[in-house]
Amino acid sequence: MKDVIIIGAGVCGCAIADALGEYGCNVAVVERASDVACGATKANSGIVHGGFDATAGTLKAKFNALGNPMFDELSKQLDFPFRRNGAYVLAFDRAGIDGLEALLERGRANGIKDLERVDGDTVRLRNPHVSKSVTAALYCPSSGIVSPYEMTIALAERANMRGAEFIFNTGVTAISRRGSVMTVDCTGGKSYAARMVINCAGVHADEVAAAAGVHDFTIRGRRGEYYLLDKTQSYLTDATLFQLPTSLGKGVLVAPTVHGNVLVGPTALDTDDKDGVATTAAGLEEAMSKGRLSVPSISARSAITQFVGVRAHCDKDDFIIGMSSLQGFYNVAGIESPGLTSAPAIARYVAAEVAAYLSLKRKTDFITVRKGIPCFAAMSDEERAELIASDSRYGKIVCRCECVTEGEIIDSIMRPLGARDIDGVKRRTRAGMGRCQSGFCSPTVIQLIADTLGVPVQSVTKCGAGSYAVTGRI
Amino acid sequence: MINCESRSVVVIGGGPAGLSAAIAAFDAGAKDVLVLERDTRLGGILNQCIHNGFGLTLFKSELTGPEYAARLIDMASERGIECRLNTTVVSVAPDKTITCVSEEGVFSITADAIVLTCGCRERPRGAIGIAGARCAGVYTAGTAQKLVNIMGYMAGRECVILGSGDIGLIMARRMTLQGAKVRAVLEIMPRASGLMRNVVQCLNDYDIPLMTSHTVVDVLSQGGRVSGVVAAKVDNDMRPIAGSEFLLPCDTLLLSVGLIPETELAREAGIGLHRVTGGAEVDDTLMSNIDGIFCAGNMLHVHDLADYACLESEVAGKRAAEYAINGGVTRGAFTSVECGDGIRYAVPMKILSSGSGSITFTARPSAEYALGRICIEADGEEIYSKREAGIRPATMLRYVLNSAQSDKLRSASRICIKVRE
C-alpha cells in the first residue's frame, strides 16, 4: 500500500510528489496520458508572475507571492531554464492609467516589492517595438519566464529519484474509502490502495472528485490559443508585455520564451470540451490582432506553430487546496494562472499538510540536485569537443534547427521517466521545436525511439495511444 | 582538442548543387576542395526522389534521383575531391572560418572561399497556420517521402495533400502506387504550383482530383491521428468562402506548401538575404555581400529542376576557385537588376561593372502569359529578348547571355528584366 496516490502528473502533481519525497513518503502518481506535463502544464504562457494581479487574501495571491521567489534556487537545483526578464502591464488610454493605479495598490497589498509606474515613452525607450498607443505601464522586475514542461519533467525526475512511482496511460474511474484505506480504481481493471489520495487532475479535477463522491466544485475548461514565433523575432521584446484588461476584454501577452522564441496569446474562451486542443482560425486571428495592439510589427508570417491550452477554471474563482468532505481525499484543484508560479509553494504547503495527516517526519537527507540532459546547443566549442570525446553520439546532430544531437535524444529516452514518444523527446531535448517543426528530424527521431526502446517503428507514437507516426511497412 | 585546418574551397552541403560546385571548383584549378555533408551519404534530397525525370538537360538522359546523384558522386570521386560525411557545419564566420561537428569532434576550418549549397526546407504547418487538431498524421511531403522511400514505412493509408508543389504531386503518385488512397490535392491558388508534367503524370494518370482555389480550414482527429480535413473553396483574396466547406475523410494530411532556402548559416555569417526569394543576395559571380562566400542551388533560390541548380552551382564553384587562386577579388561598382512587369524575382540581383565573361539569368515569372517576350534591358536598350510560350510562375526561366550582351549590362547604370506581351 502506498502512503499517497497523486492523480495527475501536471506541474502540481509532480511538484507535490517531489516535495513529499522530503518526508520519505511512499508516493505513486497516476496519469492518464503517456507522459508528465501533457495537459495545461505544457500549453501555457510559461510566466513566473510577479504576484500583483491576484486579489489580496485569496490563495492565488498567497501562493503566487510565496512561489515566485522559490524559482531561482529551484531552477538551479533542478537544472531547468528560468530567467527574470521583467514584465510590463500596458495601458492604452486614460481609463487604463487608473487601472494601473489599482493594480499597483493590489500588488502592494500582496506584498510585492519594486513595482514601478512608468509612462508610455519610458516603456518604448526600454522596449522600442511597443505600440505608440501605449500611454503608461506598470513594471514588475521580479516577473520571470520558465519552460513549464521542462520544469515539470525536472520535478518529476527528482520525485522519481526520491522514490515516487509514476503510472502512465492510466485513468481513474472510482475512488472509495474503507476504514483508513483509500482505493483508486483505474482503467484497465487496475486498482491501487493508499492512505491518502491527492487530486491534481487539472481540468478534470471535478470529475475525479465526483468519482470519490465529492461534488462541491466544478471546473470549466477555458481555452487559450497561442502563436509561437520564430527565434528571429526575439528582437520584438525581451520583457513580458501584458495588457491591462479593458472593457473590450482581457488582453493577450507578448513574451519571449526561455529558448528565444516569442509567444503571443492566449485568448480566453470557455469550453465544454476540456480536452479540445485544436486551434481555430478565429481564435488565432484574435490572438494575433490583440498581440499587435502591444507590438504592431508582429507578423503571423513569422510563426512556427500554434497551440491551445485549456486552463482549469474553478467556479469559486480561486485555487481549491485542502482535504475534501471525504477524509483522505485531498483536492489541489482550479489551479489556473498563477498556478505555474504557485506550484512550488503549493507543493511545500501540501506536503507539510499531508505529512501532518500521515504523521510523517521531514527527513534530513534527501536528493536535492537533478541534472538535466546535456544541452549541446548551449555549449562552447570546447565543451562540445569534450562531450563528443566522451560519447561520439553527441557528435551527430539530428535536429538542425535546434542543434540537438543523437546523444541527447537517446539520453531523453534512457533516463528515469524517459521519453516514450516523439513529443516526449521533443519536450526533453527540443528536437523538432525549431523552425522546420520536425520536418527534417522526425524520421530519425522515430527510428531512434524504436531502436532505443527495442520496439517496431510502427508502434512509435506522437503522444501516446493511437497517435501512430506511420501506418505500416511498405 | 579542437582540430584546425585550412582549405582553398569549402563547399557546405553535398547535394546536387554542392557536388556540382565542388567539381567545377576543382576543374577551375582549385585542388584543395572539401565538401562537408551532414547526412550519412552524398546526394542530398535526390536520394529520396526515386522517381525519374532528372537529368534531361545536364546528362541528356532521364534518370532517377539516386542515379543522378550517383553520376555526380562518381564525377567528384574521379577527381579525388574529399567529401566529409556525417559532418554538420554549426557556424560560418565572415572571415570564412567554418566550425563543424562530427563524431570525431569539433573542427575549425579556414577557407579561402566558401560555397554555400545548403538546400532548402519545407514550409511547415505552423508557418501557414492551418487550424485544427494537433495530432499525428500531418507531414510535409518531403518528410513523408523520406519515411516511404528511405525508411520503408507508410506515412498513411488515406491522404489529402495540401499544395500542389512538385514534391506534393510526386507523393500523390507515390502513395497511390504504394496502395494508399489519395483523396485530393488541394491548391489555394487558381492554378497548380508544380510543373505541368507532374500534374499530368502524377495526378491525371491516376485520377487524383486537383482542386484549385481550395484549402484546408480544419483538421479533425480521432484517437490521436488525423481522421479527416475540412476543405473549403477560397475567393480571389484566397480567403475561405463560408458555406463551401466539405469533409474529406483521411488519416494523413501531406503539405506541399512551399520551399524556403535554408539560410541559417548564411544569416549568422552576415550574408544579406533577398526579400522575395528568402535566399542570399548575390552578384553575377554568385558572391554574397561577404567577400569570398558564394551561394548557389536551392539555398540561393528554389529551383524547379535539379539540372538548373547544378548549372548555377557550377558558376559558383568556378568563381570560388578563381577567388581562392587569385587571393580574392576587388569588387567595384555594381548595378542592381530591377524586376519589371511579369517578373517576381531574378538572379543575380546585381551586376558588377568589373566582371567579364557570360552572365546567366534565372527568373521567376509572377503571372501567366500564353505568349510573351522576355526582355533584358540596359539603360532602356533591349540587349536580350526571347519569345516564350506558356509563361507561368511554376516554370523558372533561364537565359545565358553571351559575352557581348553581358558586357553591355556591366556598363549599364540601369538594368531591367521584364515580360512584354
- Write the CATH number for B291: 3.50.50.60
CB within 8 Å of A42: residues ≥ 6 apart: A148, A149, A152, A309, A427
Residues B196 and B82 in one domain: no
Residues A328 and A443 in one domain: no
Residues A50 and A19 in one domain: yes
* Cβ separation B224–A463 shorter than 8 A: yes
SS3 content of chain A, % helix, strand, coil (to 5): 35, 25, 40
Residues B228 and B252 in one domain: yes
Q: A468 lies in a domain? A: no
Residues A364 and A403 in one domain: no
Chain A 450-469, residues with CB within 8 Å of chain B CB atoms? 457-458, 461-469
Q: Is A431 within 8 Å of A443 (Cβ atoms)?
A: no
What's the domain range around B70? 1-121+259-330
Chain B 27-46, residues with CB within 8 Å of chain A CB atoms? 38
Give the pLDDT score at B31. 87
Residues A10 and A131 in one domain: no
CB within 8 Å of A20: residues ≥ 6 apart: A3, A4, A27, A159, A164, A351, A354, A355
The residue of chain B with its CA nearest to that of A377 is B90
Distance to chain A for B310, nearest Cα, Å: 22
C-alpha cell at A44: 501555457
Residues A302 and A230 in one domain: yes
Q: A156 lies in a domain? A: yes
* Cβ separation A471–B157 shorter than 8 A: yes
Nearest CB neighbour to B135, from listed A301, A436, A467 = A467
Instruction: Flag whether residue B91 sits within 8 Å of chain A, measured between CB atoms.
Output: no
* Cβ separation A386–B155 shorter than 8 A: no
pLDDT in tens, chain A (474 residues): 999 999 999 999 999 999 999 999 999 999 999 999 999 999 999 999 999 999 999 999 999 999 999 999 999 999 999 999 999 999 999 888 999 999 999 999 999 989 999 999 999 999 999 999 999 999 999 999 999 999 999 999 999 999 999 999 999 999 999 999 999 999 999 999 999 999 999 999 999 999 999 999 999 999 999 999 999 999 999 999 999 987 666 789 999 999 999 999 999 999 999 999 999 999 999 999 999 999 999 999 999 999 999 999 998 889 999 999 999 999 999 999 999 999 999 999 999 999 999 999 999 999 999 999 999 999 999 999 999 999 999 999 999 999 999 999 999 999 999 999 999 999 999 999 999 999 999 999 999 999 999 999 999 999 998 999 999 999
Residues A274 and A408 in one domain: no
Q: Is A222 within 8 Å of A265 (Cβ atoms)?
A: no
Residues B31 and B152 in one domain: no
Nearest CB neighbour to B1, from listed A306, A385, A437 = A385
Q: Is B58 within 8 Å of B311 (Cβ atoms)?
A: yes
What CATH number is given to the structural domain containing B356?
A: 2.60.40
Q: A473 lies in a domain? A: no
Residues A246 and A193 in one domain: no
Residues B277 and B212 in one domain: no
CB-facing half-sphere around the CA of A129: CA atoms within 13 A:
18
Distance CA A163, CA A157 (A): 10
* Cβ separation A440–B86 shorter than 8 A: no
* Cβ separation A281–B217 shorter than 8 A: yes
Instruction: Flag whether residue B329 sits within 8 Å of chain A, measured between CB atoms.
Output: no
> Which of B330, B363, B388 is at the close of a domain?
B330
Count how many domains chain B has. 3
Neighbours of B148 (CB within 10 A): 24
What's the domain range around A160? 1-81+145-218+315-372
Nearest CB neighbour to A461, from listed B108, B224, B251 = B224
Q: A470 lies in a domain? A: no
Active-site annotation of A, residues: 49
User: What pTM does this model have?
Assistant: 0.96
Sign of CA dihedral A96, A102, A108, A112: negative
Residues A178 and A280 in one domain: no
Helices (H) and strands (E) in chain B, counts: 9, 28
Helices (H) and strands (E) in chain A, counts: 13, 23
AA letter at A282: A
Count how many domains chain A has. 3
- DSSP secondary structure letter of residue A468: B
Query: Which chain A residues are closer than 8 Å to B102 by Cβ?
Result: 395-396
Dihedral angle of Cα B78, B81, B84, B90, to the nearest 10 degrees: -140
* Cβ separation A388–B225 shorter than 8 A: no
C-alpha cell at B97: 572560418
Residues A236 and A124 in one domain: yes
Per-residue exposure over B32-62, b if at least 16 CB sit within 10 Å of its own CB, e if not: bbbbbbbbeebbbbbbbbbbebbbeebeeee
* Cβ separation A470–B147 shorter than 8 A: yes
Give the pLDDT score at A95. 86
Query: Which chain A residues are closer than 8 Å to B142 by Cβ?
Result: 439
Distance CA B197, CA B189 (A): 18
Q: Is B79 helix (H, G, I), strand (E, B) or coil?
A: coil
Q: A9 lies in a domain? A: yes
* Cβ separation A303–B148 shorter than 8 A: no
The residue of chain A with its CA nearest to that of B178 is A474
Chain A 287-346, residues with CB within 8 Å of chain B CB atoms? 300-301, 303-308
Residues B92 and B162 in one domain: no
Where are any strands of DSSP class E within B70-198? Answer: 82-84, 88-92, 97-102, 105-116, 120-122, 138-140, 153-154, 158-162, 181-187
Q: How far apart are the first and last CA of chain A?
A: 48
Instruction: Flag whether residue B242 sits within 8 Å of chain A, measured between CB atoms.
Output: no
Residues B143 and B249 in one domain: yes
Distance to chain B for A387, nearest Cα, Å: 9
* Cβ separation B224–A466 shorter than 8 A: yes
Residues B223 and B320 in one domain: no
DSSP string, A139-208: EETT-EEE-HHHHHHHHHHHHHHTT-EEE-S--EEEEEEETTEEEEEEGGG-EEEEEEEEE--GGGHHHH
Query: Which chain B residues are closer than 8 Å to A401 by Cβ?
Result: 264
> Which of B307, B330, B353 is at the close of a domain?
B330
DSSP string, B174-204: HHHHTT-EEEEEEESSSS-SS-HHHIIIIIG
Residues A190 and A271 in one domain: no
Residues A322 and A295 in one domain: no
Sign of CA dihedral A55, A56, A62, A67: positive
Give the pLDDT score at B257. 96
Give the pLDDT score at A247. 65
Residues A284 and A327 in one domain: no
- DSSP secondary structure letter of residue A24: T
Q: What residues of chain B score a pLDDT lower than 70?
A: 1
Tell me which H or E stretch contains B24.
Answer: helix B16-27
Distance CA A444, CA A414 (A): 17
